Structure 1
Amino acid sequence: MDSLLHIGLLAIAAFGAGVLNAIAGGGSFLTFPALIFTGVPPIVANATSALAVSPGYLGSTLGFKAELQALPERRLWREMGICAAGGVAGALLLLVTPAHLFSGIVPWLLLFATVLFAAGPSIARWARSHAQATDTGGPSWRDVALLAVAIYGGYFNGGLGILLMALYSVAGETRLNVVNALKNLNSLVLSWLSVAAFVIAGAIAWREGMVMMVAATAGGFLGARWSKRLPAQWVRLGVIVIGLVMTAVFFARLD
C-alpha cells in the first residue's frame, strides 16, 4: 500500500511540475522534495528529478526552431559544447559529493533557487536595461559565465532558466525570443548530458523516474493549454510559496 501511495504522490508531483514548467517554471520544487519524502536518497532524488523534467526541454526548444535557425551555426555549436561540458561537470560534481554533505547543502540550494525564481522578473528587467551598455565585443567572458551556469545546472537544476536568461540579456541580446530560444536549447543540452552521466553512474531511481517522466510530460501538455487561462502571476506566487515551504521543511530536517 505504501508503495502505491508513493507512486501516486510522485505522479501527482510530476504532473504538477509539468504544468508549472509550462506556465511559469519551478517544477523541480515539486519533483525533488516528493522523491525525498518517498525515501529516495538526496543525490539519487536530484538525479531522478532531472530525468523527470528533461523531456519538457525538447518541446520548448522545438517551439523556437525558427529563432535558432536564424542564429550563426558556429555560435550554436560552441555554446552547446560549453553547456554539454558544464552539464557533465556538474553531474560528476554531484556524484562525488558525499551524501551527508549534499543533504546539508540542499536547503541552501532550494533557498537560492526560490529567491532566484522570485526575483526573476526584476533580474530580467535589470538585465535588459543594462544590455545596451554591456561590452559584447568578445565572447570570452560570456563563455566562462555560460560554463559556470551550466555546471550549476548539471549539479542542481533549480533556477537554471532564470540564470541563462539573465546571462544572455546582460551579454547584449535584446531580442526576447532569441533569449528564450538559447535558454531552452542550452537547458536541453546540459540537462540531457547530465542525465546521461547520472544514468551511466547508476544514480537514477528508474521506477520512480519513469512514472514521473510520463506524468510530467502529460502535465506539460495540459499546462501549455491551461497557460492561456491561468494567471501567470498567481502561478508564480504559488511556486514561490511552495519553494519557501520546501526550504523551511528541509532546514527543519537538518536539526
Structure 2
Amino acid sequence: MEHDLFLLGAGFVGALMNALAGGGSFVTLPALIAVGVPSVEANASSTVALWPGGAASAWTYHEGRQRICGIGTGLMLAVTLAGGFAGSLLLLWTPSSSFNVILPWMLLLATLALAFGRRIGPALQGRLNGRRGPVVLIQFALGAYGGYFGGAVGLMMVAAWSALGEHEIKMLNGPRTLLVSAANTIAVVTFAFAGAVRWPETLAILVGGLAGGFAGAKIGRAVPAHVACVATLFWTAGVTLVFFSRAYLG
C-alpha cells in the first residue's frame, strides 16, 4: 500500500512536469527503481505509464500533414516506427547490470537537451544541408533513441531538423508530437508483448498521471514558463548526479 501511494504520487508529479516543461520520466523511472523494479523493466514500465498522455497529445495533431526537411510525414512515420522498434528491442537485450551503467549517460543527454535543445536548433540552422538519405538515417536513430530511452527526444528532433535545413520548425509541432508518440507506441507494444512491464506499479503511476496531467493544464496557466523550466532543470540535474553516483561510486 505504501508503495502504491508513492507511485501514485510519482505519476502525478511526472505528468505535472510533462505538462509544464517536460522531464516526467526523471520522476517515474527513479520511483520505479526505488521500489525495487530492475532498471530495464523500470524504464519499460515508465514508458508505458507515460504513454497515454503523449498519445492524447498526438491525437490533437492527427490531421497534420506537413513535410519535414522535404520528406512526407508518412515516410518519416515509418522510419520512426522502425527505429522505435529497434531501440525497444535493444533495451530488452540490455542486461540490467549494463543498463545501470548506461542510464546516467542517457539522463545526462536528456538533461542537456532540455537545457539547450531550444537554442541548438537555431544555432545549427541548415549546417548539415540535409538530403533525403541523411534525414532518414538521423530520424531512424532518433526513433531508436525514443524506443530505448526517449528523454527529451522531441527537442532532439527539432534540433536535428533545424540542422538539416528545415526552416518552418514552428509549423511542425504536430509532426513532432506524432513521431515522438509513434516511437513510444511501438516501444509500448514491444515491451508489453515481451512481458517487460510491471503492471501493478505501472498502473499506479498511470492513475496518478491522469490527475497530474489535469493539474498541469491548470497550473501551467499560472506558472511562468521560465520558472517551470528552471525547476525542471534543477530536478533533472539532481537526478542525473544521483544516478552517476549510484553507478560509479557504489
Report the TM-score, using the length of structure 1 for normalisation: 0.90
**Per-residue deviation, 1:121:** 2.4
Instruction: Mark the runs of 5 or more structure 2 residues left unpaired by the alignment.
Output: none
Match of 2:161 among 143, 152, 168: 168
DSSP 3-state at the match of 2:217: helix
Match of 1:48 among 42, 45, 49: 45
Aligned to 1:205: 198
Counterpart-to-counterpart distance in 2, 1:30 and 1:55 = 16
Instruction: Mark the runs of 5 or more structure 1 residues left unpaired by the alignment.
Output: none
Counterpart-to-counterpart distance in 1, 2:242 and 2:129 = 43
Query: What aligned pairs does 1:156-235 form with structure 2 within 5 A after superposition?
Result: 156-235=149-228
Counterpart-to-counterpart distance in 2, 1:63 and 1:69 = 13
Query: What aligned pairs does 1:116-195 form with structure 2 within 5 A after superposition?
Result: 116-127=113-124, 130-131=125-126, 135-136=129-130, 138-195=131-188
**Per-residue deviation, 1:59:** 2.2
DSSP 3-state at the match of 2:37: coil
Counterpart-to-counterpart distance in 2, 1:139 and 1:225 = 41
Indicate conservation of the 8 Å contact 1:89/1:151, yes or no: yes
Once superposed, what is the RMSD of the aligned Cα atoms?
1.8
Counterpart-to-counterpart distance in 1, 2:9 and 2:154 = 23
Deviations 1:80-123 (Å, cap 9, x if unpaired)?
11111111100100111122111111112111211221112221
Task: Count how many residue pairs are aligned between Structure 1 and Structure 2.
Answer: 246
Q: After the TM superposition, which of the residue ranges 242-251 and 146-155 deviates more from structure 2?
A: 242-251
**Per-residue deviation, 1:70:** 5.4
Q: After the TM superposition, which of the residue ranges 215-224 and 18-27 deviates more from structure 2?
A: 215-224
Counterpart-to-counterpart distance in 1, 2:224 and 2:161 = 26
Report the TM-score, using the length of structure 2 for normalisation: 0.91
